[in-house]
Amino acid sequence: MPIVTSPEQNASEVEIEQAIRSGIEHYFDDCRARVPAFIDRHFHYPGALATNRMALGWDMLRAPINLLWAPVYALTCLLKVLLPKRTGLMWLHSLANRVPAGFTTNVQQHISHLILVDLLNNGQEGSILEGYLIEALEAVYERHTYEAVDQKRFGKLIEPLVADALSQYRITRTASADITNSISCTVLGAFAFQKFTPGGIGLGVVLASMLAKTLAAQNFILGETVGGWYYSWFPPEPSVATTASVMIAVMASLAAFAAFSGVIFDPVQAAVGLHRRRLHKLLDHLQRDVTLSTQSSFRPKDQFVARILDMFDMIRSGLL
């Protein structure tokens, strides 16, 4: 934290630093206390419906693009972590930093605004952190001088950190939708087809095989009934065109489902505590960054979990 001293230097730097840390701690404790009510209001029913109805409209196009772009962005994030920041590689880090996370959907923007206003600022449009800092500093200054605290010192203290943290939180929405798709495909494959389909690719392969079997049976020389029996023992291999077409259709359907999946899975995540843990993690990292004056350290692992599931789906389907 930057040290703020009074014009007359009557208050010691230790006292001022302790006051700043106390103000930051008090602010984030109040934010954490608002988390349960925030989740009940926006992620349980009926609030989940209001939160996710923003998906109607352009989000139907943005969500599929984000899901397709997510592996590229996850790879760039992994490269930034693994590659050392040497002089010869700085251009690569700079290039990776310019890779966008994807389109910001209306649902993501709405939730970011709710976190900023309702959770971080207790219903106010402006930042209230500076009020906590000023109150703590004034208590110190009153013991030494009557000089007023300069509020402009704290006007932009947290803004860039919050902006980056909310950007990372928006990425978790895309990752959560991808994880939701993987789970949905697994459940659908198990109950509908008695197959293990850990993702859209696996489900597409199963459906392509079923379609190839149906088409082959219809064209069987001894009739469809005999053909169905024959191909149940000797299943035909679907063509590349059939497999690709079915996969595209499945992925498109999943992408459309992803835009509205929050209506179903936000209450589920709220019930099992995922939203609570994610918001507490966001607040913990913000408190650390503000206290130590570091860059934003909030980097949720959801997107990497989603990519691991995608890789497993491709391996299981024989594409890798």
pLDDT given at position 289? 86
**Position 232 in a domain:** no
**Position 252 in a domain:** no
**Position 250 in a domain:** no
Q: Calculate mean pLDDT across residues 89-97.
A: 73
The CA–CA distances, whole Å, from 217 to 226, 238, 248 equal 8, 13, 24
**Position 222 in a domain:** no
The CA–CA distances, whole Å, from 174 to 73, 137, 255, 292, 305 equal 11, 41, 10, 30, 12
For residues 257 and 181, is the Cβ–Cβ distance under 8 A? yes
Percent of the chain past pLDDT 70, that is, above it, reads 79
φ, ψ at 56 (rounded to 5°): -65, 130
Which of 27-41, 261-275, 297-311 shows the highest mean pLDDT?
A: 27-41
**Position 4 in a domain:** no
pLDDT given at position 314? 67
**Position 308 in a domain:** yes
**Position 253 in a domain:** no
Q: Calculate mean pLDDT across residues 100-111.
A: 81
pLDDT given at position 35? 95
**Position 197 in a domain:** no
Q: Is 247 helix (H, G, I), strand (E, B) or coil?
A: helix
Total domain count, the chain: 1
Give tens-digit pLDDT for 107-165: 888 889 999 999 999 888 777 887 888 888 777 776 665 555 555 555 555 677 788 88
Look at residues 112, 133, 121, 111 and name the one whose alpha carbon lies nearest to residue 30: 121
| Average model confidence (pLDDT) across the chain | 78
Domain that holds residue 120: 13-192+270-317
Q: Is the dihedral of CA 312, 316, 318, 319 positive or negative?
A: negative
Give tens-digit pLDDT for 252-285: 787 777 777 788 888 988 999 999 999 999 999 8
Which of 27-36, 220-229, 299-308 shows the highest mean pLDDT?
A: 27-36
Count of residues in the chain = 320
